[in-house]
């Protein structure tokens, strides 16, 4: 069965520590339990992905990033933004996916590491940031799981995005319209409000942000990790939810400026200076962001300002405490 019995509180690992008075010669940090959960970047790019097909088919072949991205294993190769949380408790490991974009899943699999393949064997929940195609376009592909691996998948979605799904994926919301014998994804829709909720023993705090004028998207906080993949502005009331963030994952579309719907790198860095996370990884990069070049530039900010900021890349896996 895909839905396990709830055994332990979500913050089990982060609340654990060494016994008082033990090994006084070493720092407390050395005695904390090592992180056991894991955060895996399944996709870190824009909706059309990197490389862009139009750059590869351009006879002049003038796009250096897409040319590099076409090489297997190159870190400029980017699929739709998505992360996978492997939430480990003593009783089980839960695989929680944030967004199911057009090809975060399908294109990830042929080149995925054994770690990612193992992590994607069963999907325990999918949490949706918003209803653009690069966040929900892969809902249809989940039928491979519900046909062949598990009976159903819980989807957590805001009311406004559920209304969109009723149109874009009407046959997944109302399965009575499916032709008998046809196989579609079997999804359980859970409507989430903009307040904390629990998924698979893990507390999830929605982080409401603007993703273009008048259009809401959600980031999410898991323990000390804050994930905001699609943002053009952060409302005042959301900043207090970002306090004491250890790892911030933040939208940074392009190196020079913001767009109407996404932070560019200069604005994203402004926000990092304001939010003050311990470490930041950027996501949602388009083909103007050269992984090595931008990361070299960002590394200098560690020397000059003490800012720990880097670009993420598809397949990057980070041990985390949830």
Nearer to Zn ion, 37 or 229 (CB): 229
Nearer to Zn ion, 230 or 290 (CB): 230
CB of 253 to Zn ion, least distance (A): 11
- Helix ranges (DSSP H) in the chain: 28-31, 53-56, 64-69, 108-111, 114-119, 133-136, 143-148, 159-168, 170-173, 236-239, 265-275, 291-305
Which one of the spans 109-117, 125-133, 139-147, 195-203 is the region binding Zn ion (CB under 5 A)? Answer: 125-133
**Of residues 55, 104, 123, 126, which one binds Zn ion by CB under 5 A?**
55
- Residue 136 near Zn ion by CB under 5 A: no
CB of 130 to Zn ion, least distance (A): 5
Nearer to Zn ion, 139 or 184 (CB): 139
- Residue 287 near Zn ion by CB under 5 A: yes
Binding mask 200-239 for Zn ion (x = CB under 5 A): ------------------------------x---------
- Residue 248 near Zn ion by CB under 5 A: no
Nearer to Zn ion, 66 or 85 (CB): 66
Largest CA distance in the chain: 69
Q: Closest Cα to residue 288, out of 46, 72, 43, 42?
A: 46
Nearer to Zn ion, 13 or 263 (CB): 263
- Residue 63 near Zn ion by CB under 5 A: yes
CB of 116 to Zn ion, least distance (A): 23
Cross-strand pairs, 83? 41, 98
CB of 288 to Zn ion, least distance (A): 8
The side-by-side arrangement of strands in the sheet containing 317-320 is 187-191, 153-157, 125-127, 93-98, 82-88, 37-43, 317-320
Both tokens of residue 245?
């963030």
- Residue 52 near Zn ion by CB under 5 A: yes
Q: How many residues bind Zn ion (CB under 5 A)?
A: 7
Q: How far is CA 186 from the centre of its chain?
A: 22
Instruction: Kindly provide the residue ranges of all beta strands, DSSP E only, lying in the chain, ordered along the sequence.
Output: 37-43, 82-88, 93-98, 125-127, 153-157, 187-191, 197-199, 202-210, 216-222, 225-228, 247-251, 279-283, 309-311, 317-320
Enumerate helices (H) and strands (E) in the chain, giving the number of each. Answer: 12, 14
CB of 51 to Zn ion, least distance (A): 6
Three-class SS of residue 154?
strand
Which one of the spans 55-63, 71-79, 103-111, 163-171 is the region binding Zn ion (CB under 5 A)? Answer: 55-63
- Residue 132 near Zn ion by CB under 5 A: yes
Which one of the spans 2-10, 61-69, 81-89, 172-180 is the region binding Zn ion (CB under 5 A)? Answer: 61-69
Question: 36 burial class (0-12, 13-18, 19+ CB within 10 angstroms)?
Answer: middle
Nearer to Zn ion, 171 or 215 (CB): 215
Nearer to Zn ion, 132 or 267 (CB): 132
Cross-strand pairs, 187? 153
Q: Which residues bind Zn ion (CB under 5 A)?
A: 52, 55, 63, 66, 132, 230, 287
């Amino acid at each position: 069965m895909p839905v396990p019995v709830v055994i332990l509180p979500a913050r089990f690992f982060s609340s654990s520590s060494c016994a008082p008075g033990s090994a006084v010669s070493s720092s407390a940090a050395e005695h904390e339990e090592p992180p056991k959960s894991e955060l895996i970047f399944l996709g870190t790019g824009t909706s059309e992905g990197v490389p862009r097909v139009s750059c590869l088919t351009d006879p002049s072949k003038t796009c250096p990033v897409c040319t590099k991205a076409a090489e297997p294993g190159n870190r400029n190769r980017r699929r739709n933004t998505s992360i996978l949380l492997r939430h480990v408790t003593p009783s089980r490991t839960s695989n929680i996916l944030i967004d199911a974009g057009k090809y975060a899943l399908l294109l990830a699999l042929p080149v995925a590491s054994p770690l990612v393949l193992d992590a994607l064997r069963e999907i325990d929940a999918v949490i949706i940031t918003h209803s653009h195609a690069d966040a929900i376009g892969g809902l249809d592909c989940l039928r491979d799981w519900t046909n062949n691996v598990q009976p159903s998948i819980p989807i957590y979605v805001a009311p406004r995005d559920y209304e969109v799904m009723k149109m874009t994926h009407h046959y997944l919301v109302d399965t009575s319209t499916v032709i008998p014998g046809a196989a579609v994804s079997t999804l359980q829709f859970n409507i989430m409000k903009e307040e904390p909720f629990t998924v698979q023993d893990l507390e999830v705090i929605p982080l409401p942000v603007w993703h273009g004028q008048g259009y809401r998207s959600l980031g999410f906080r898991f323990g000390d990790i804050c994930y905001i993949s699609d943002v053009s502005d952060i409302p005042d009331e959301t900043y207090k939810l970002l306090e004491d963030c250890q790892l911030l994952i933040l939208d940074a579309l392009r190196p020079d400026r913001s767009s109407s719907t996404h932070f560019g790198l200069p604005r994203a860095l402004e926000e990092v200076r304001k939010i003050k996370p311990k470490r930041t990884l950027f996501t949602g990069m388009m083909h103007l962001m050269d992984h090595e070049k931008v990361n070299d530039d960002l590394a200098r900010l560690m020397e000059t300002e003490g800012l720990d900021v880097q670009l993420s890349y598809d397949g990057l896996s980070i041990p985390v405490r949830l």
